[in-house]
């Protein structure tokens, strides 16, 4: 029996999915991101499958994740934003209380980062609940992008050396919370009582979750790059095909 066959036969399955680059193509304007049609169809099939729970686990702030996921109040899909520091579960939401000192420092540093980015065409700063992100995807001059990355690194190292730094596709994130997607998957597993988890992601920030999976779980890496995942797919469409297979097998197993 393959890993995929085994996980599709588990009693209660949690399918936890990164969003950007996994369900949605990477875009230059982050708030325009939406699920690719094939991914949307696969997610819809999984939601309808018996004893199967779907969650989106993203580095996006929870509010932004709700918008790009087109998540409604009656949606059965669970959300984990800010790498697992914020949650939206059916009937409830969860976010830690923010220390005013942390938010004051966040706002000052975000403003300084915006000043650093002002002279770098294509760069911009994304406000996040627990910090900020420096977007470099649309910076055409590699030297300017590297200078901005280095100067922002120096700013954070000087003012907030305890903050966590994450490097993603065309973005560097800084945050005063150290929570990772491994903690998000563990929390969601407990909430739903999952007997196995499928987690899929496309970026370095997803590797925390992929490394945390157990032998009963299945990790999927979308695209290239070093990974702890046991399965690799080439792109969103290939992932959608695999997830659709999982949905069909879940339905068949419960008939």
Q: Which positions are annotated as active-site residues?
A: 18
Distance separating alpha carbons of residues 176 and 166, to the nearest angstrom: 12
- Specify whether the CB–CB gap between 60 and 71 falls below 8 A: no
* Cross-strand partners of 15: 54, 198
Q: How far apart are CA 125 and CA 131, in angstroms?
A: 10
As beta bridge partners, residue 131 has 128, 175
| Contacts of residue 79, Cβ cutoff 8 Å, sequence gap at least 6 | 55, 56, 58, 62, 65, 66, 69, 71, 87, 88, 89
Any residues with CB less than 8 A from the CB of 64 and at least 6 apart, and which? 30, 31, 81
* Torsion on CA atoms 8, 10, 13, 15, rounded to nearest 10: -40
Angle at CA of residue 103, ends 204 and 208, nearest 5°: 20
């Amino acid at each position: 029996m393959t890993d995929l066959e085994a996980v599709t036969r588990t009693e209660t399955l949690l399918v936890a999915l990164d969003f950007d680059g996994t369900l949605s193509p990477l875009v230059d304007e982050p708030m325009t991101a939406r699920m690719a049609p094939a991914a949307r169809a696969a997610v819809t099939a999984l939601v309808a499958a018996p004893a199967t729970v779907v969650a989106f686990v993203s580095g996006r702030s929870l509010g932004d994740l709700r918008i790009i996921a087109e998540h409604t109040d009656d949606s059965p899909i669970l959300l984990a934003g800010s790498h697992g520091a914020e949650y939206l579960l059916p009937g409830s939401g969860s976010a830690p209380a923010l220390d005013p000192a942390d938010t004051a420092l966040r706002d000052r540093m975000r403003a300084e980062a915006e000043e650093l980015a002002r002279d770098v065409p294509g760069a911009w700063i994304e406000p996040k609940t627990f910090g900020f992100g420096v977007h470099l995807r649309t910076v055409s001059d590699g030297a300017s992008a590297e200078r901005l990355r280095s100067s922002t690194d120096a700013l954070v190292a000087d003012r907030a050396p305890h903050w966590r730094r994450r490097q993603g596709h065309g973005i560097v994130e800084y945050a005063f919370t150290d929570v990772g997607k491994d903690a998000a998957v563990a929390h969601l597993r407990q909430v739903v009582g999952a007997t196995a988890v499928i987690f899929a992601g496309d970026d370095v920030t997803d590797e925390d979750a992929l490394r945390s999976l157990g032998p009963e779980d299945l990790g999927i890496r979308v695209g290239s790059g070093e990974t702890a995942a046991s399965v690799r797919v080439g792109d969103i469409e290939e992932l959608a095909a695999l997830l659709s297979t999982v949905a069909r097998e879940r339905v068949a197993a419960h008939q």
